[in-house]
Amino acid sequence: MDFLYSVTADPVLQIVEDPVFFLQIILEGLMAGVMYSLVALGFCLIYKASGVFNFAQGVMMVLAVMCMVTVYDAGFGILLALLVAMVFMVGLSFAIERVVLRPMVNQPQIILFMATIGLAFFLEGFGEFIFGGSSQKIVPTEALHIGRDALLIPMFGSEIRLQQLDLTAGVCAALLVATLALFFQKTTVGRALRAVADDHQAALSVGIPLRSMWVIVWSVAGLVALVTGIMWGASSSVDFSLVLIAMKAFPVLILGGFTSVPGVIVGGLIIGVGEKVAELYWGDALGGSIEEWFAYVLALVFLMFRPQGLFGEKIIERV
Amino acid sequence: MVTDHKQIGEALLQVNNVSLSFGAVQALSDVSFEVREHEILAIIGPNGAGKSSMLNVINGFYTANEGSIVYKGISRAKMEPADVARNGVSRTFQNIALFRGMTTLDNIMTGRNTKMHRNFIWQAIYIGPARNEELEHRRKAEEIIDFLEIQAIRKTPVGRLPYGLQKRVELGRALAAEPELLLLDEPMAGMNTEEKEDMCRFILDVNEEFGTTIALIEHDMGVVMDISDRVVVLDYGRKIADGSPDEVRGNQSVIDAYLGVSRE
Amino acid sequence: MIYRETGQYKATYGADQQLFPIVQDRYFFFAFMAFLVIYPVFFGSDYLFQVVLYPVLGLGLCALGLNILTGYCGQISLGTGGFMAIGAYSFFKITTIFPDLNILIIFIFAGLISALFGILIGLPSLRIKGFYLAVTTLAAQFFVEWCINRSDWLSNYSPSHTIGAPPRELFGFLVMGPEAPGSAKYLVMLFIVAVMTLFARNLVRGRIGRSWMAIRDMDIAAELIGIRPLFTKLSAFAIGSFYIGVGGAMHVMFNLENVDPEAFEIFSTSFPILFMIMIGGLGSILGAYMGAAFIVLLPVLLRNAFPFLGIDIASHVIQHIEFMLFGGLIVFFLIVEPAGLARLWQILKEKLRQWPFPY
């Protein structure tokens, strides 16, 4: 009975008693959601444009920001550090295209997915080998002009805190999404990329240079990874345990549909808010830290009702 | 004893006023026809006429928005494809849908899966009942292999076979279930003349020796007119003709559908 | 010359359907099994047992379970660690509640609990496929990790949620716990693995195995020829999870002996087992064990190779190299030989059939 009370009536009472706190939680959830969306965006981009579900995206994110921080820590300027990281990500895209993707043209998606799991392991080993595995690094927020203060917004006689860092992340996400949407819809390259995602062979046969397309999209995803990595790194520290956080992008993708950029944003926000609210109001009753699995179970329940995701297209199967 | 005159019986399957749409696309509208016992019925029509969709509705793979299917006297609006198959309807596919990782023999044995009943504990132990069942069905599968003359490729993974043979294996898999109604979706598409002749012979043999009722979709008019007892013509999701090959051949709307009609 | 099947005619379908239709294969297999029983019992060192044999058998059985699910039925799972944890913790709970119960029976129960959970996780598989399903198995993984980290009851109120192997006897011999002789544990493991492998082999060559493969190769066609997709997928989830559960319980109880929840993490457990079947061969029983041996032995080789060559390398660097090698090998195998080591073995046998006169 106590348990029932604590999972049904109690949370509602808490929300009614302190609505400002509830708003605060929602806001924090939204901000966390933006961060998830940023990670998921990288996955979505590669999937949309090459049909590959890139498991290594999380590792790429860590690699990108590690590279930047390492260069900066070595005493070079922040601009040079960013530039080196970008070049590194583009170089990585070339390497991945040459070594992994090119020999696997026209393989089933699931095989490509497994290959990216292998890639993730390789890159993680590689990254730890080069940048050192154990040391944690700090993102130079001042040099990047990312504020670390909290804004206080008065509301209903109380206050809501808003982190500048979260705001920056929100603005970055908005800019990225707008740019990418334009890129996919309005440019020739964007159209070619959509064709590639649909069918490798057909795209080749109409003269789309598959290889350069792949390099382009993986580079773009690498740049998204860099931005995401900086944001995530700034909010905690930079090390390979971020890879596990990046896996939160999966439920986001499922919720939003793998191919939809708006879906990724909405999915991220839902997951972010759901997770925070669940943890604060139901977490204790269930045993704490339910954040670890809540997002996945939420996505799973959602899938039962809408297998193609929020914004995914309904699949008509044919024989 | 094969006689020249088959005993075409009552309706085995009736399609009553079936309509099917995907969003705004009307794939089938108000289609009715029947398939009679022991006959070979051809469903023809231009591309996109809704022929494959029709088979999918009969199979239970698509559910008709309106209308019903009456099979062996039992009417249904919705039925799981697996249950339809278990009731004696089997089929082949327009684009070969074999299990590519398995051998010819395994593919044909899979067709007999619905007839096997030992539970998984017996199967794990294997020795005894499961083995006997397996061998009994192997014997039946070998009969089909003999019938289709594919003994030499028994243990070859089907992914390695040429197209014509794959089509034949697919027919074998459908036959393995000992169907009462066999649905063939373009069994001769992409074949050369010789392969087509072989396939025609197999279809006629199946019909005559096993008495299997056959509904087939085919674009080769020569084949259709030669082997079918009756022809149903679909165009834009509607039935425009239904009758013996000769009747259909002379039907004006069929000619219009195929050759186009000039609109003043 | 030696490996010739000329003259071995089969007059019945029964003779054609047996496990080893070629006589030489049969002899080789029995000889190999005899070697597996005799050599370690008389000459096995603790090092051989703990570094090579226990992990290969325990993890190999898990790999076999995953191969049933992923390799045969085509349902990809990233939650292997979770199922292993369920098997291990179930075994631990049951054996501490009923200390006198025969451990073979407890292994079966541990497997059954894992199988039940597998069915639960498999339920969405009717509606979702591919990566979507892979992500739902992640839900299982993280949920189980959370459970064993949060519940004191599961580990009998041990402070860090650690479980250990209690001393247990089987038919009067001490076969479990720190005091048990290495060869006794080994023989019990070998027995369980051999029996379960035989069962798996029988399953995959019969009706159920064909249904799994049909769903894997072409799920729609399978459904249209009368195979019930939900039942078939769930049976693969159940049986695969059963194997993983038993394998996990064995791996913990005989090999690791003391584990905390960290032992079942996704990167340290689920993925390496997935790698085993990818390198060993998807859809091959032999491949599961070959892959397990490969993944278990590679780090051992690495650790011994560098000192042997006189190169001094810190152990964490070796671990980084291990990661790179694993990742690289996965990509390499997917590109060069997607059917894995098992296929290489098959090719070797085909070559041997014609040797030394290939024409």
Residues A308-313 have a mean pLDDT of 71
SS3 C10: coil
Q: Is the pLDDT of residue A310 over 80?
A: no
From residue B16, alpha-carbon distances to A267, B49, B218 in Å are 44, 18, 22
Share of chain B above pLDDT 70, in %: 97
SS3 C334: helix
Contact residues, chain C, for A115 at CB < 8 Å: 330-331, 334-335
Residues C282-305 have a mean pLDDT of 91
Lowest mean pLDDT among A146-160, B214-228, C201-215, C276-290: A146-160
**Domain boundaries along the sequence of chain C:** 52-274
Q: Which residues contact C246 (CB under 8 A, 6 or more apart)?
A: C61, C65, C87, C107, C108, C110, C111, C114, C192, C196
Q: Is the pLDDT of residue B150 over 60?
A: yes
Contact call for C202 and B173, based on CB within 8 A: no
Residues B137-146 have a mean pLDDT of 93
Supply the DSSP string of A162-215, one letter for each residue: EEHHHHHHHHHHHHHHHHHHHHHHHSHHHHHHHHHHH-HHHHHHTT--HHHHHH
Reported confidence tier of residue C97, pLDDT bands at 50, 70, 90: very high
Residue C309: HSE in the Cβ half-sphere, 13 Å Cα cutoff: 9
**Domain boundaries along the sequence of chain A:** 2-305
SS3 A148: coil
What interface predicted TM-score (ipTM) does this complex get?
0.90
Average pLDDT, chain A: 82
Contact residues, chain C, for B131 at CB < 8 Å: 14, 17
Lowest mean pLDDT among A131-135, A174-178, B85-89, C191-195: A131-135
Lowest mean pLDDT among A154-158, C92-96, C279-283: A154-158
User: Chains meeting B at 3+ CB pairs closer than 8 A?
Assistant: A, C
Distance CA(B206)–CA(B43), nearest Å, equals: 18
Residues A218-232 have a mean pLDDT of 89
Share of chain C above pLDDT 70, in %: 99
Residues C212-240 have a mean pLDDT of 92
Q: Which residue of C has its CA nearest to A286?
A: C150
pLDDT number for residue B1: 38
pLDDT number for residue C127: 77
Share of chain A above pLDDT 70, in %: 94
Q: Which residue of A has its CA nearest to C135?
A: A250
pLDDT number for residue C359: 65
Nearest to B116 among C200, C207, C217 (CB): C207
Give the per-residue SS3 of C61-91: HHHHHHHHHHHHCCCCCCCHHHHHHHHHHHH
Distance CA(B223)–CA(A56), nearest Å, equals: 54
Return the H-helix or E-strand segment holding B102: none
- Structure-token pair, residue C358: 């290939």
Lowest mean pLDDT among A188-197, B131-140, B162-171, C147-156: A188-197
Reported confidence tier of residue B263, pLDDT bands at 50, 70, 90: low
b/e B206-225 (16+ beta carbons within 10 angstroms → b): bbeeeebbbbbbbebeebbb
Average pLDDT, chain B: 89
pLDDT number for residue B2: 43
Reported confidence tier of residue C214, pLDDT bands at 50, 70, 90: very high
Asked if C126 is an interface residue toward chain B (Cβ–Cβ < 8 A), one would say no
Residues B166-185 have a mean pLDDT of 93
Residues C70-98 have a mean pLDDT of 94
User: For residues C358 and B85, which has the higher predicted lDDT (pLDDT)?
Assistant: B85
| Highest mean pLDDT: which range of A196-200, A314-318, B25-29 | B25-29
Q: Is the pLDDT of residue A200 over 90?
A: no
Q: Is the pLDDT of residue A28 over 60?
A: yes
Q: Is the pLDDT of residue B21 over 50?
A: yes
Distance CA(B231)–CA(B233), nearest Å, equals: 6
Q: Is the pLDDT of residue A230 over 60?
A: yes
From residue C301, alpha-carbon distances to A27, C48, C59, C296 in Å are 52, 13, 18, 9
Contact call for A319 and B22, based on CB within 8 A: no
b/e A293-317 (16+ beta carbons within 10 angstroms → b): bbbbbbbbebbeeebbbbbbeeeee
Q: Is the pLDDT of residue A8 over 80?
A: no
Asked if C65 is an interface residue toward chain B (Cβ–Cβ < 8 A), one would say no
How far away is chain C from the Cα of A247, in angstroms, using its nearest Cα? 9
Q: Quick one: residue C258, left, alpha or beta (phi over 0 = left, psi -120 to 50 = alpha)?
A: beta
Residues C258-266 have a mean pLDDT of 89
Residues A296-305 have a mean pLDDT of 82
Q: Where in chain B is the domain with CATH 3.40.50.300?
A: 1-88+179-264
User: For residues C240 and B79, which has the higher predicted lDDT (pLDDT)?
Assistant: C240
* Among B81, B98, B95, B114, CA closest to B173: B98
Asked if A172 is an interface residue toward chain C (Cβ–Cβ < 8 A), one would say no
pLDDT number for residue B190: 86
CATH architecture of structural domain A2-305:
Orthogonal Bundle (1.10)
Q: Is the pLDDT of residue C245 over 90?
A: yes
Contact residues, chain C, for B110 at CB < 8 Å: 210-211, 213-214, 222, 225, 227
pLDDT number for residue B217: 93
Is the N-terminal amide bond of C356 cis, ω within 30° of 0? yes
CATH architecture of structural domain B1-88+179-264:
3-Layer(aba) Sandwich (3.40)
Q: Is the pLDDT of residue B59 over 70?
A: yes
Q: Is the pLDDT of residue B193 over 80?
A: yes
Residues A123-133 have a mean pLDDT of 84
Report chain B's C-alpha Rg in angstroms.
19
- Structure-token pair, residue B140: 């039946």
- Which residue, among B87, B99, B131, would best test binding to C if mutated, counting the most C CBs under 10 Å from its CB? B99
pLDDT number for residue A313: 66
Q: Is the pLDDT of residue C297 over 80?
A: yes
Q: Is the pLDDT of residue C353 over 90?
A: no
pLDDT number for residue A247: 84
Phi then psi dihedrals of residue A156, to 5 deg? 50, 45
Average pLDDT, chain C: 89
Distance CA(A66)–CA(C318), nearest Å, equals: 21
Q: Is the pLDDT of residue C10 over 70?
A: yes
Q: Is the pLDDT of residue C232 over 90?
A: yes
Q: Is the pLDDT of residue B124 over 90?
A: no
Q: Is the pLDDT of residue A276 over 90?
A: no
Contact residues, chain B, for C65 at CB < 8 Å: none
pLDDT number for residue A32: 85
Q: Which residue of C has its CA nearest to B59?
A: C224
Contact residues, chain B, for A317 at CB < 8 Å: 61
pLDDT number for residue A312: 67
Asked if A152 is an interface residue toward chain C (Cβ–Cβ < 8 A), one would say no
Nearest to B124 among C199, C214, C220 (CB): C199
Lowest mean pLDDT among A276-290, B133-147, C74-88: A276-290
Share of chain B above pLDDT 90, in %: 52
User: For residues C276 and A290, which has the higher predicted lDDT (pLDDT)?
Assistant: C276
Task: Quick: pLDDT tens for B194-248.
Answer: 999 999 999 999 999 989 999 999 988 888 999 999 999 999 899 999 999 999 8
Residues A186-214 have a mean pLDDT of 83
Contact call for B93 and A316, based on CB within 8 A: no
pLDDT number for residue C315: 77
Contact call for C210 and B109, based on CB within 8 A: yes
Task: Quick: pLDDT tens for A75-97.
Answer: 888 889 899 999 999 999 999 98
Asked if A59 is an interface residue toward chain C (Cβ–Cβ < 8 A), one would say no
Kindly give the residue spans of alpha helices, DSSP state H, lying in A18-108. Answer: 19-50, 57-73, 78-96
Residues A242-267 have a mean pLDDT of 84
Residues C130-155 have a mean pLDDT of 87
Distance CA(B115)–CA(B144), nearest Å, equals: 15
* Among A76, A99, A80, CA closest to A88: A80
pLDDT number for residue B39: 93
